[in-house]
Structure 1
Amino acid sequence: MQLFHYHYWTPFVEETEQTYRSLGFEVNGRFTKDGFFHPPLTWDDFREEQPTFRIIEMRKGQINITFGYSKKVLFDHIGFLVSDEEYNLLLAQAKKLNWPIQAGERRTFLSTPLRLRLELQRRTDVIENGNDALHAMTIAVPDLSQTPKVDQLLSPLNQPIHWQKGERLSLLDVNMTNVDEMNTIDPNGVHIVKQT
């Protein structure tokens, strides 16, 4: 079980892409409701069209980050690469907890009481080769009383999720290997720290 992904909605789509590109991430795809603007296209090629991006996917090694347009910053979910055995075990545990499950062909989502969704991904083509990886993250939640249930579900995970009390669900910081800058804050307030 490997933490590999996070997703949020943002009004700062171009700025977010620029920030992650400066950290060595590459754009894998840019999707709108009606089409796409994949590389080699750059923002100068389509900025005047003012596309509303549903998803921009960026990758660096074992890390996959996605974001799309919203009027305000909203943290949505984190994702885990899992084996078939881990997938079945996690689904059984989520059912025991009466958590909603949204199963799909490409990925499955578990809805936690924290309003944080957990993506279970069995396809390894969502990441690239390389040693770049997520090592830990800190997430703010309004109610810490539910975090032990999530921790129990994620107990096989070697990459810790730290919880902090906050006014709303938000991603506070992520710990990564091989980011070029030691300390960076993306346009959405996510603190990116280099694993030492």
Structure 2
Amino acid sequence: MQLFHYHYWTPFVEETEQTYRSLGFKVNGRFTKDGFFHPPLTWDDFREEQPTFRIIEMRKGQINITFGYSKKVLFDHIGFLVSDEEYDQLLAQAKELNWPIQAGERRTFLSTPLRLRLELQRRTDVIENGNNALHAMTIAVPDLSQTPKIDQLLSPLNQPIHWQKGERLSLLDVNMTNVDEMNTIDPNGVHIVKQT
């Protein structure tokens, strides 16, 4: 099981893309409800159209980050690459915990009591080759009493998820290997730290 992904909603779509580009990420796709504005298009090519992006996907090595437009910053989910065996085990555990499961052909989501969704991804084409990877992350939650259940579910994971008490669900920091900057805060308040 490998932590590879996080997703949030943001009013700072262009600024978020620029921040991750400055860290060496490449835009894999930009999607609206009605179409797409994939590279080689740049923001100068479509800014006047004022598209509302449902998803912008960015990749660097083993890291996949997505975000889309909303009126305020909302952290949505984290994603894990899993084998078929791990997938079956995680689904069985989620059923025992009575967590809602949204299974799909492309990916499956487990809804935790923390309102944090866990994406289970079996397709490896969602990442690129390279040494860039998520090493750890810290997530704020209002209720720490539910975190041991998630920790138990994710016990095979080598990349730690740290929990911190906060007013609302939010991604506080991510630790990445091989990013270009040592210490950056994205427009949504996510602190990106280079693993040394």
Give the TM-score category using the shorter length: over 0.9
Q: Deviations over 1:147-175 (max 9, x none)?
A: 00000000000000000000000000000
Distance apart, 1:133 and its partner CA? 0.1
Q: Distance in 1 between matches of 2:158 and 2:25?
A: 23
Aligned equivalents of 2:188, 2:178: Cα separation in 1: 21
Q: Give CA deviations for 1:108-127 in whole Å, capped at 9, x if unaligned.
A: 00000010000000000000
Give the 4+ runs in structure 1 shifted more than 3 A: none
How many Å apart are 1:189 and its aligned residue?
0.1
Residue 58 (structure 1) shift: 0.1
Per-residue deviation at 1:53?
0.1
TM norm structure 2:
1.00
Deviation per residue, 1:56-109 (Å, 9 max, x gap): 000000000000000000000000000000000000000000000000000000
Q: Whole-Å Cα distance in 1 between the matches of residues 22 and 172 of structure 2?
A: 19
CA distance in 2, matches of 1:177, 1:47: 32
Q: Find the aligned partners of 1:70 and 1:54 in 2 and give their Cα distance.
A: 9
* Alpha-carbon separation, structure 2, partners of 1:60 and 1:181: 14
Which residue is 2:76 aligned to? 76
Which residue number in structure 2 is paired with residue 172 of structure 1?
Answer: 172
CA distance in 2, matches of 1:70, 1:179: 27
If the length of structure 1 is used for normalisation, what is the TM-score?
1.00
SS at match of 1:57: strand
Q: Distance in 2 between matches of 1:178 and 1:158?
A: 18
**Percent of pairs with identical residues:** 97
Question: Deviation at 1:137?
Answer: 0.0
**1:195 Cα offset (Å):** 0.3
CA shift, 1:30, in A, is 0.1
Q: Which 5+ residue runs of structure 2 have no aligned equivalent?
A: none
Q: In structure 2, how many angstroms separate the alpha carbons of the residues matched to 1:178 and 1:134?
A: 10
3-state DSSP class of the match of 2:157?
coil
SS in 1 for 2:120: strand
Per-residue deviation at 1:34? Answer: 0.1
Report the count of equivalent residues: 196
C-alpha distance in structure 2 between counterparts of 1:33 and 1:178, whole Å = 34
* Partner secondary structure for residue 59 of structure 1: strand
Any gaps of 5 or more consecutive residues in structure 1?
A: none
Cα displacement string for residues 37-64 of structure 1 (whole angstroms, at most 9, x for unaligned residues): 0000000000000000000000000000
Give SS of 1:94's match. helix
